Structure 1
Amino acid sequence: MNTSTSATQKLDSAAGVMQASKASRVRWSLMGIVMAIMAVTALNRLNLSIAGKVIEEQFSINTIAMGTVFSAFLWGYGLFQIPWGYVCDRIGPRRTLTAAMLCFAVGAGAMGLVPRLATMSGVSVLVGFRLVRFVTGVGEAAISSNVTRVIASWTSLRERGFASGLQVCGLGLGGTLTPIFIAWTMVHWGWRASFEICGVLAFLVVALWHFYATDWPEEHPDVNDAELQIIHPGSRKGDVGARSSHTGVPSVPWLKMLTSLSVWSLILGYGLQGYTFYVYYNWFYFYAVKVRGLGIMQAAIWTSAPFLAMALLSPVGGWFSDRVARVTDRRKGRIAAVWVGMGTSALLLYGGNHISVTVIALPMIALAAGFNMFAAANFWAACIDLAPSYSASLSALMNTMGSLGGVISSTVTAALAVHRGWGPALDVAVWITLGSGLLFTLVNANRSIQEQ
């Protein structure tokens, strides 16, 4: 009897040890919220691409003028990237993301009020749309760089590429659902209601983030010691002061960043990636309607395809990079993934552009967008590789260049489409895609900028 009791006690003790050593998975719950943030960010960025055609017709705005509305968002988005990233590196992502999401939630809800406010103030509706989209862009400017900082703080080195892929996946999921959601809402309740609902969803996500997230895993009450050893080996619960001390005193090493070949190759390559990304983001719906002759709902369904491809392929790109890095090194892993992504994207975009059969052409262009983001996940991971302690600032700098590429894309694509046709407009994007992949070759993800 005593022997049986002793054996039972040993089994219970062993079970308790196993339970205690089992790592919590709070970091993946937080990555789920990150995906929701990216999804609602995509919703509030892409909504105008779907509603834009109806707004054009209602207010007699031509395609080139609508391009300036798209560009207004990108100017706000581009100009405030670096300030938001710097603030994040100083005070942490929790408060910074909260403030930024509140900003773009207000901007999204205000779109429906523009016609009334324009009448009351005496400015044109076009100017009103530009101002509101600029404010929305200011809020969204913080998201990607701050999320990169979250990934840097909350994931291990071996998980970095995959986690960055999840970041881009959230963007793709938001883009997948947005065209159908906005088109359906416009058909039933009008375009103003679609923007108001976008604002409400943004407020819900910011509440979830604010009340669940912390800047560091050491601060979170649900993270156990086993999970901490995965993320930050040697760290302990509550050990936040030492880990976050760099946010209070040392400055971001801008000089080292701006004299690094890896950094310039990264940000210029991402600028070219931004050009092609915004071709898919802003103009795919217009292309489906005006060139391929699809109806509103049919075009909306097809417009979801590039974003579904992004959602599916971006985590694969990050995972692929991590796997290659384990058998070679981080530099080779990141470069291999970017080459595969950008090369395949360019081939698919060229083929889809020159095939007349719509049911073949549109899936090819959608897959081109997906492979573009297969590669893009590794640009974000490289920000953490090069500047682990200042990843928000570097990713903000990179995304600023991407936004500049988007501003140029919004205007140049519209001008080429109007004056030369959509074929040449997309061919330009093919060559720019290849240029992005080639520039990334010079990024050395094996060494941080402090070590260079």
Structure 2
Amino acid sequence: MRSPPPAAASSSSPQRIRVRWKIFLFLFGFGFIAYVQQRGITVAGYRMMSDLGLTQMHIGWLETALLIGYTAMQFPGGVIGQRLGARRMFVLIGLIGFAACMATPVAPLFLKGEALFGVLLAAQLLLGASQGPIFPVSAGVFEAWFTPDRWALVQGLQSMGLGLGASLTPPLIAWLMSAFDWQRALAWTTLPALVLIAWWAGYGRNSPAEHPAVTAEELAELGPEPPARPDASISWSRVWELMKDRDVLTLTVSYVCMNYVFYLLANWCFLYLVQERHFTVLESGWLASTPPLAAAIGAGVGGALASSLGKRYGVRTGLRILPLVSLPAAGVLEFVAVDATNPYLAVAALALCFACVELNEGPFWAAIMHVARADSMAASGLLNTGGNVGGLIATPIVAYLSGHHHWSTAFLIGTAFAVASAAAWLLVDPTRRAVATALIASGPVLPAETSGVLKTRNVVLIVSDGLRWQEIFTGADPELLNEKNGGIWENERELRREFWRADPAERRKALFPFLWGTVAVRGQIFGNQTQGSIARVTNGLAFSYPGYNEMLTGRPDARINSNEFGPNPNLTVFEWLNGLPELHGHVAVYATWGAFKDIFNVGRSHLPVQAGWDPPYRGTTSAREELLNRLYRSTTPIEDGDVYNAFLQVPLLDSLPAQQARVLFVGYGETDLWGHAGRYDQLLHSAHLFDHFVEELWNAMQALPAYRDRTTFIITADHGRGSGPVEWKEHGVKQKGSENIWIAVLGPDTPPLGERMHTAPVTQAQIAATIAALLGKDYRQAVREAAAPIADVLGSTGSRPAP
């Protein structure tokens, strides 16, 4: 009953193209043009050799010069791009690349012999250097403009742009050379770059928050808070740590191996078809476009598949699947290509081989971004440096072997590299660094601007499942105080006597006396939509498991789209805090819903979780404890998996004197159950008792020295509900308003501002970091994507807990 119907679990598609996808199209265009510029000389080289007196080794050296410049500027280009910003960086490198490309057809008009070759060599070196930063800087843009679950997709789609550029170049250059000459072929294919550069200069921005066309709705889609502008400084100590990281090194070595095959197919396919398979220049131009076209399709499909597999199986397993399958397949197809007697079969095998290779661009780049997180530009620069080392290895080897007509040997070497690349993925875990950082962290303090001493030593997060903000702020809903709309079974007059008041302020206080008599007086309450206070979920689903994951991990996870998802793959703030020495063994969970054993992933976290109908007392029990155990075992539930709130309250209060948990989660579920059942009378009674249970817990903790004046309560709901005579019973994307919640905070460090009005929006995702911040810890050091704490409830104190 907690989940909405399956059809409600996905929202409708936006009606217009989001700005982030327009930004992506620009980067797609830069990648496309870069490969047109790079591949032009590989096709034109056939005519350049005869016209300019160059040998095949000269063409090999020109391509090597481009690769040297391209490789050398990967990491420095990422650093410079981060300092200048993507907007200025793409204009700068675009103009340099344009000038370098135009130098190649223009130089023969003025120079000959060694001087000409020197200029051509310098032009290719400069072209490579100008294009080296494109993909590291793009990785930083993708990090700012897209959520992590889309990283593999956008990386794969951008690689598709490369493939399309490489696919278009051979037939286009070959046709232009046949119709005119190689100089005009290169010049005319370079001119469109100026249009793209000018357009980007006017439209591009470094981050969503800077773009005037980005709406608040689009910012909300990007996460619980607006993505920050990339940091303009880079810590060399962090870069050194990245260079030593086992997953960065393994991914880089694997990428070296894969890129031998990539450069073999991308740069030498045209000459192979002419020299070894004896096609004409025009035929070879069109046939040489087939492998890059297949590669382009493979890159796009691979990005989409990797994104989908990552959501389904988790980052570690999901990103491994494609490399482990497709790279060995690419090795086999290389062998098939050189062994085929039919030349068209060889072309087909090469095309499928290239597709198999390029399936892996999304997994490689998404993996390095997951490893590096905030340092993605630097790390992806290192990755692509290694990748282009593969090209530096391949180019002289293939140039030498092809010049001596040993094409088969060049391809068979590629088979060995493809298999080695796949094997390296068995050692890769993109999540290792993040989890290790989180679990080993010693709990760094908050930034200096919150430099007081915290009084809070204990934090309790309390959730009433599915309890609407409407009841919290206006009390009983008059539209539902009847049998027709509210399913009232008891005496309606008696129900009104208990909970109805003409004044909404009095009505809400009748329903929630502790919340409005104590919390609102001594703490803060967010979420009254009618008073300009917005509190909302950001997971886009508005039902239980996605909501609890969001509040406990600080960010939504698109993979979690069902209440039956199973063990949570994400690190909760409770598990992270339990990993800190001073809090280890002082974290506990009490909840009515059995699914919390998965939400807190007890198999991994080993947190003590009392949830569902599991009898609460173990070992030797008193008569009173055994009686409650019997009630747990013999009571007929409202719904399987959900124990009554009153049953949970007893072991919760019993645990306080002995256990004295410092970080405590309490989840009450009845309000959601009675809402789904359509029993508004029971929902009101349950909400009223919830308020009583919270008061009872507060008083019990204040009676103990370990908790008195040192404890903060955060009280909230996991989702809202619909409104009106029917929609109030359900929640989800089909029930408008289900994303709206409420958040209340009471504790020694929270200024007593009461009901918040006309204040900045707060989100469910901010709760995780707020819990840690109240204890003097920075959860975002462990989970960088987590939303920031709710600053207003921290007051002017906040970096260190009281001793």
Q: Any idea what SS the aligned residue of 2:139 has?
A: helix
Q: Map 1:113-262 onto structure 2 (within 5 A).
A: 113-119=106-112, 123-235=114-226, 243-244=228-229, 246-248=231-233, 250-251=235-236, 253-262=238-247
Q: Any idea what SS the aligned residue of 1:390 has?
A: helix
Structure 1 unaligned segments of length 5 or more: list them.
1-17
1:360 aligns with 2:345: yes
Deviation of 1:451 after TM superposition, in Å, equals 4.8
Deviation of 1:245 after TM superposition, in Å, equals 6.6
Q: Which amino acid aligns with 2:273?
A: A
Is this contact kept in 2: 1:24–1:222, CA < 8 A?
no
The equivalent position to 1:93 in structure 2, one of 63, 69, 86, is 86
Q: How many residues align?
A: 426
Structure 2 unaligned segments of length 5 or more: list them.
1-10, 438-803
The equivalent position to 1:68 in structure 2, one of 57, 61, 64, is 61
CA RMSD of aligned residues (A): 2.0
Q: Which amino acid aligns with 1:41?
A: A
Cα distance in 2 for partners of 1:427, 1:338 equals 19
Q: Which amino acid aligns with 2:102?
A: G
Alpha-carbon deviations, 1:21-49, whole Å to 9, x = none? 97861111221222111110110000011
Is this contact kept in 1: 2:155–2:361, CA < 8 A?
no
1:319 aligns with 2:312: no
Cα distance in 2 for partners of 1:245, 1:338 equals 30
Cα distance in 2 for partners of 1:60, 1:249 equals 47
Query: Which range moved further: 382-391 or 39-48?
Result: 382-391
Deviation of 1:447 after TM superposition, in Å, equals 3.9
Alpha-carbon deviations, 1:215-240, whole Å to 9, x = none? 101111121122212223222xxxx7
Cα distance in 2 for partners of 1:351, 1:249 equals 46
Cα distance in 2 for partners of 1:376, 1:70 equals 22
The equivalent position to 1:340 in structure 2, one of 325, 333, 354, is 325
Q: Any idea what SS the aligned residue of 1:177 has?
A: helix
Q: Which amino acid aligns with 2:185?
A: S
Query: Which range moved further: 40-49 or 441-450?
Result: 441-450
Give 1:15's aligned residue.
none
Alpha-carbon deviations, 1:382-429, whole Å to 9, x = none? 221112222121111111112221112110011122336111111001
The equivalent position to 2:355 in structure 1, one of 367, 370, 389, is 370
Cα distance in 2 for partners of 1:85, 1:280 equals 27
Query: Which range moved further: 380-389 or 71-80?
Result: 380-389
Cα distance in 1 for partners of 2:247, 2:426 equals 9
Q: Which amino acid aligns with 1:186?
A: M
1:65–1:272 Cα change, 3 Å: same
Q: Map 1:272-421 onto structure 2 (within 5 A).
A: 272-419=257-404, 421=406
Give 1:14's aligned residue.
none
1:249–1:111 Cα change, 3 Å: closer
Give 1:54's aligned residue.
47
Cα distance in 2 for partners of 1:428, 1:99 equals 38
Is this contact kept in 1: 2:43–2:270, CA < 8 A?
yes
Query: Which range moved further: 400-409 or 295-304?
Result: 400-409
Q: Which amino acid aligns with 2:414?
A: A
Q: Which amino acid aligns with 2:344?
A: V
Cα distance in 2 for partners of 1:89, 1:386 equals 18
Q: Any idea what SS the aligned residue of 2:177 has?
A: helix
* TM-score normalised according to structure 1 size: 0.90
Identity %: 24
Q: Any idea what SS the aligned residue of 1:215 has?
A: coil
Alpha-carbon deviations, 1:175-198, whole Å to 9, x = none? 111111111111122111122123
Deviation of 1:117 after TM superposition, in Å, equals 3.8
Whose RCO is larger (CA < 8 A, sep 6+)?
Answer: 1
Is this contact kept in 2: 1:23–1:224, CA < 8 A?
no
Deviation of 1:375 after TM superposition, in Å, equals 1.1
Q: Which amino acid aligns with 2:310?
A: A
1:363–1:252 Cα change, 3 Å: farther
Higher helix share: 1
Q: Which amino acid aligns with 2:338?
A: N
